[in-house]
Structure 1
Amino acid sequence: MKEQIKQMIEAADTIIIHRHERPDPDALGSQFGLQLTLQHQFPSKTVLTVGEMATSLSFMGELDQVDDELYKEALVVILDTANQARIDGKVAMTGKDVIKIDHHPDEDPYAPVQLVDTTMSSTSELLVHLLNEWGYEIPTSAAIQFYAGIVGDTGRFQFRGTTKRTFEVAAQLIDAGIDTDWLYRNMYETELAALHLQGYVLQHIQLTDQGVGYVVLTQDTLKQFGATVEQASLLVNSFAGLKGMKCWALFLETDTEVRVRIRSKGPVINEVAKEFNGGGHPMASGATIGQLSEVERVIRRLDEVAANFQF
């Protein structure tokens, strides 16, 4: 499969790279990193990145505007996207050829050609391994993108998906001459409104008897602190260290839905996420519910999962 993907990339004149909606550092880092590497390796090819940019991650790069007609003769590479419904830009599936490269559980094999490796910490790490195998040089501009993706999906190398291979790849990227000071400053600088909201989150954590922590942020609360849903979503790990907590959820009310970010220290929570229009990793998932009255249903299911887990 890896050799087939390499051949498809080398045969294509136009490559359009997609990833999931509401991008995180790994989605953007893998997207920009692959683009910059391919542009470096094949200067004559047209390599484009598309999708909506997350305001907090705009420092990572600028996305392209692509006419739908271009897809008819293009190779589309979809990164870090487990489910077809989450692709940012549904026109991606109209490409002449479509490839999926991902590290999430492959529960929706939507692409004709796929490379999925759930042992990787991130799609960024997976791509670095792949590019190394192909003998492609990763320029400094791409290395910092891949590093950002790995840092984001490993929680600065804290999460259990971090392996020896992850550190080896990180070392390779640092050796490429990246400016990690610049990266961390941009990734973790916080607006005053977000800091105030973090204080609210820490004061309003609820913890069930089974060890499920959760915080609900309504639209009114977000308006009170002048914070966006995007800013608020970054606070999901702000109370991760709470003693006695096995898993936790952050509920974010928008105009049309309630987004749920779920994390775990042990209980497998992606099956719960799937029950609520979501999915993801066993320890980090997302879901969507229609209204705040459904919060209790999510917590009950997380309670059931947490009850069967012992540290």
Structure 2
Amino acid sequence: MTKNSIKLLLNWLNTYETIILHRHVRPDPDALGSQLGLKMLLKKMYPSKKILAAGETVDNLAFIGEMDHVSDSDYNGALVIVLDTANAPRIDDQRFRSGEKLVKIDHHPPVDDYGDINLVDIKASSTSEIIAELVMNFGYGKDYLNKAIARCLYIGIVGDTGRFLFNNTTVRTMQIAGLLREYDFDHTAMINQMQQRSLKSIHFQGYVLQNFNYEDHVGSIFITPELLEQFDISANEASLFVNSMSDVEGIEAWVFAVDEGDQIRVRIRSKRVTINELAARYNGGGHPLASGATVYSPEELDQLIEELKSIVK
């Protein structure tokens, strides 16, 4: 993320009258926090411009903010910005290439430089942290922040740092979080909303804790469509419990796999060993200690788990 690329981005923001913001499918708090935080920031910077947030609404994170209806015609001559998405196939709403210019803003390892500008900072805890940094780089300081913007960006940082417990929490992360907390949003209510789960989801978590496999310091569980139906939860809701087994004594890494019918979505987490190269071999990628992959059979999933055990050893 160079000064020249930041300068070019600001020039494009000044130039284009329509700016459309995308993020990845199955969004987490950082994807939504950075997308909606940037939307509100741009609306404050450019009140007369059309700023739109594209993508499907996610029920359990709807408290962060709402998506916009974006028509095909909105992309004509538009600037498109994709947030928090390492590779193009994971972008929610594949019309992202329909604009005139495309910008990628992300903190994942750069496996796919799909933008005309690629603003990537893998040292940042989150894309929300990068957006806060951009405000400073634009030269506006805190002048263009407000309570609503600060709340969204703070949600994103809290989500991707595991409430500041993960090792991606740096001194700069805490400094930016402190700056955002100067705005008077309800921190406690926000955290409670992020943690809130339905009763059926809690029952599902109980199943996960009682039935995950543990061998060679690696935990794993495979959630079938029958289990999703039994507990009446969606695949996206189920994935919220990826870290349920993380506190087991001696565990080094774990796999949370959900059969979504046409594919098995695999979330891989680690406390120490690097796992994103393993994820890349299975149609995925991500951070060194938190990655995602896709397999297409239980046998392929078993193979991935065995490779993970070898890495841990």
Amino acid at match of 1:241: D
Report the secondary structure of 1:105's partner residue.
coil
Contact 1:23 1:53 in 2 (8 A): no
Residue of structure 1 in register with 2:85 after alignment? 81
Distance 1:173 1:146 in 2: 8
TM-score by length of 2: 0.95
- Which residue number corresponds to residue 46 of structure 1? 50
Partner SS state of residue 70, structure 2 = coil
AA aligned opposite 1:62: E
Contact residue 18 and residue 78 of structure 1 kept, 8 A: yes
TM-score normalised to structure 1 length: 0.96
* 1:105 Cα deviation after fit: 0.5
- Residue type of the alignment partner of 1:299: I
- State the aligned residue count: 306
Instruction: State the alpha-carbon separation in 2 of the partners of residues 233 and 180 from structure 1.
Output: 24
For 1:140, the equivalent position in structure 2 comes to: 147
Alignment correspondent of 1:236: 242
Tell me the distance in 2 between the aligned counterparts of 1:177 and 1:41.
21
What is the DSSP-based 3-state SS (H/G/I as helix, E as strand, rest coil) of the residue aligned with 2:181?
A: helix
Task: Give the one of 245, 248, 252 matched to 2:258.
Answer: 252
Q: How do 1:117-156 residues align onto structure 2 when only pairs under 5 Å count?
A: 117-134=121-138, 135=140, 137-156=144-163
3-state DSSP of counterpart to 1:73: coil
Which of 99, 106, 113 is matched with 1:109 structurally? 113
Q: Does the alignment pair 1:214 with 2:201?
A: no
1:156-195 Cα deviation digits (max 9, x unpaired) = 0000000111111111111021211221121111100110
Q: Which blocks of at least 5 consecutive residues in structure 1 are unaligned? A: none
Q: How large is the RMSD of aligned CA atoms in angstroms? A: 1.0
Deviations 1:87-146 (A, max 9, x none): 111111121011101000011111111110000000000110111221151111111110
Match for 1:302 among 304, 308, 313? 308
* Structure 2: stretches of 5+ with no match in the other structure: none
Q: CA deviation at 1:292?
A: 2.1
CA distance in 2, matches of 1:238, 1:208: 16
Within-5 A mapping of 1:55-94: 55-94=59-98
Rounded to whole Å, the distance in 2 between the matches of 1:130 and 1:182 is 27
Q: Distance in 2 between matches of 1:41 and 1:139?
A: 12
Q: Is the 8 A contact 1:72 1:96 kept in 2?
A: yes
Matched residue SS, 1:99: strand
Query: How far apart, in 2, do the equivalents of 1:224 and 1:109 lie?
Result: 41
Aligned to 1:195: 202
Q: Secondary structure at the residue paired with 2:76?
A: helix
In 2, the alpha carbon distance for the partners of 1:72 and 1:217 equals 42
Query: For residue 15 of structure 1, what is the aligned residue in structure 2?
Result: 19
Alpha-carbon shift at residue 291 of structure 1 (Å): 2.3
Per-residue CA distance 1:193-252 (angstroms, 9 max, x = gap): 11011111111121122x111111111112112222111100011111111111101011
* Partner residue in 1 for 2:182: 175
What is the rounded CA distance, in whole Å, between the counterparts of 2:155 and 2:244 in structure 1?
19
Q: In structure 1, what is the equivalent of residue 101 of structure 2?
A: 97
Query: Secondary structure in 1 aligned to 2:240?
Result: helix
Which SS does the other structure have where 1:236 is aligned?
A: coil
CA contact (8 A) 1:269 1:285 kept: yes
Q: How much has 1:295 moved relative to structure 2? A: 1.8
Matched, 1:165 2:169: no
Partner of 2:9: 5
3-state DSSP of counterpart to 1:197: helix
Decide which of 217, 223, 229 is 2:229's aligned counterpart.
223
- The answer to whether the 8 Å contact 1:40/1:139 transfers is no
